Amino acid sequence: MTTINAHKNKQVYVSRNLLSGFLFGIGLVAFIDETIFHQLFRWHHFYDKSTTDIGLISDGIFHAISWFATIAGLFLLADIRRKSGFWLKRWMGGLMLGAGGFQLYDGIIQHKLMRIHQIRYVENVIIYDIIWNVIAAIILIIGLYLTVRTSNNKIKAEAITNER
């Protein structure tokens, strides 16, 4: 495939690369959260305002939904690759946006505003909250940086430069 065609495919699939990575990022962070904090450490369940049985059921539903996001992201990725429109940097930007955005949503909305669970039930939970949300913000900033660096305008500028 020529360089010009590769740039054209990047332009056509720029948003699908972002969406695929975004969905995969949500699924990846949800999987890590579910596996480490829900199952291995047993610090919390997705919904902790009821019995342990309800908490386990909520974990199962959370896991199923995150699995669907992961699979949807991978199906989009397979389609993009089949059409020669895959752009790793753009996809990684989407992954970081999805991962960081979901983790920040979890830390602020679910932990603090909705109070459906905490990271860990200890006396000084603020330390856990700060670490959780700072990591989320760093991941989100990396995603924003990669997304801006791989905008459609950047592709057009690269294509014009390569045509000369």
Residue 72 and residue 78: Cα distance in Å, rounded?
A: 10
Count CB atoms within 10 A of the CB of residue 56.
14
Give me the pLDDT at residue 145, please. Answer: 97
Residues 112-148: tens digit of each pLDDT = 999 999 989 999 999 999 999 999 999 999 999 999 9
Q: Is the pLDDT of residue 162 over 70?
A: no
pTM of the model: 0.86
Residue 72 and residue 24: Cα distance in Å, rounded?
A: 8
Local structure of residue 122 (DSSP, 8 states): S
Residue 112 and residue 104: Cα distance in Å, rounded?
A: 11
**Closest by CA position to 62, among listed 95, 39, 89:** 39
Residues 12-24: tens digit of each pLDDT = 899 999 999 999 9
Q: How many residues does the chain have?
A: 164
